[in-house]
Amino acid sequence: MHPGMYEVETVTTRNTPAAERAALWSETVTAFQGTHSYRYGYPVPERFDATATRQRSARFQLVTWHIAQAQTIRRDRTDDDDAYRLLFPLAGPADLGLSGDDHRLTPADGVLFAPGAPFDLRLSPGSRGLVATLPRAEVEDRIGRNGHRLLHLGRAPGRVLALMLSTLVDDRAAITRRTFDTLCGQAVELACLVAGDRAAVPEHDLAAQIRLVVRRYAHDPGLTGAALARHVGWSLRQVQAVLQRQGTTPSALIREVRLELARDLLDRPATITAVARASGFHSIDAFEKAFRRRHGMSPSEYRRS
């Protein structure tokens, strides 16, 4: 592409024969974002209906999408990709699989995909979203070479980042190549700030995010401090530091949430063993000891009371 050019193009499946729609969409995503594999959520994929608009210059690319049906996009490890991609939903959640861990992305969440690294992205029906392609050198000059990074976009500077990119989309027909490159360059700086500096996110938001993840996975006996850190996309030390300032630890928080879950389950017609398993405890003995320390009575005594 010529260095001075800025162009906008839209691809839609609506005017394509039904039997060719899924293939056209797969080809479009590959052309815009590189090699992936695709799975569609309906037995008859020709029902698939989607639209994508791409804005690009020689340095940056910004793509927005809208899909009517569910879709899963998977990238295996590849060496033919040399850019970072910043993605966040505009409407509808997206489920993201990274290294065996699942994350729910909402319009307040984003992810910075590292070049070539694998992922699974499951888009819900009616999903709308945005993905910006950022030059590898411009990102790694600021934050170094790392894997995928989860981003919080609910407050500044993440909120400013999302607003800036959304405004570029809204005004795409009126902006110039210079404006596009300038604002995309500022978006790189903001994305790197959010990705590299947890202090940019308010402390109570970090703690709330950790607690939400614990509640979601408390039933899993494999949930440990290290697993919790992987789920939120941080290091274990970062999680420990945030929770320490909240007066707790990863293991204590996980145990407390499991006991809350168990207490609710004890109001239902299930055996004590079933309650222990459903609330994430490895054994009935560990459950009963933890429950007695917390409530001063056994699970059976609590149920009778």
Span 115-128, pLDDT tens digits? 888 899 999 888 99
3-state secondary structure of 84: strand
78 φ/ψ sector (left φ>0, alpha ψ -120 to 50, else beta): beta
- What's the Cα-to-Cα distance from 140 to each of 28, 114, 132, 188, 234, rounded to whole Å? 28, 10, 16, 10, 18
Concatenated DSSP letters for 282-297? S-HHHHHHHHHHHHSS
pLDDT at 255: 94
Give the model's confidence band at 200: pLDDT under 50 very low, under 70 low, under 90 confident, else very high. Answer: very low
Q: What is the band of 61 on the pLDDT scale with cuts at 50, 70, 90?
A: very high
Residue range 252-286, pLDDT digits in tens: 999 999 999 998 898 888 899 999 999 999 899 99
How confident is the prediction for the chain on average, in pLDDT?
Answer: 86
Read off φ and ψ for residue 266, nearest 5 degrees. Answer: -70, -15
Distances (CA, A) of 216 to 108, 213, 224, 228, 280: 18, 5, 13, 11, 11
pLDDT tens for 92-141 read 888 998 877 788 888 888 999 988 888 999 998 889 999 999 999 988 88
Which of 152-156, 242-246, 281-285 has maximum average pLDDT? Answer: 281-285
pLDDT in tens, 201-212: 455 566 777 887
User: What phi, psi does 199 have (nearest 5°)?
Assistant: -65, -15
Other CB atoms within 10 A of residue 195 CB: 24
pLDDT at 277: 92
Q: Residue 267, exposed/middle/buried by CB under 10 A (0-12, 13-18, 19+)?
A: exposed
- Note the maximum CA span of the chain: 76
Q: Name the 3-class secondary structure at 34.
A: coil
Quickly state the pLDDT bin for 199 (edges 50, 70, 90): very low
Q: What is the pTM of this model?
A: 0.65
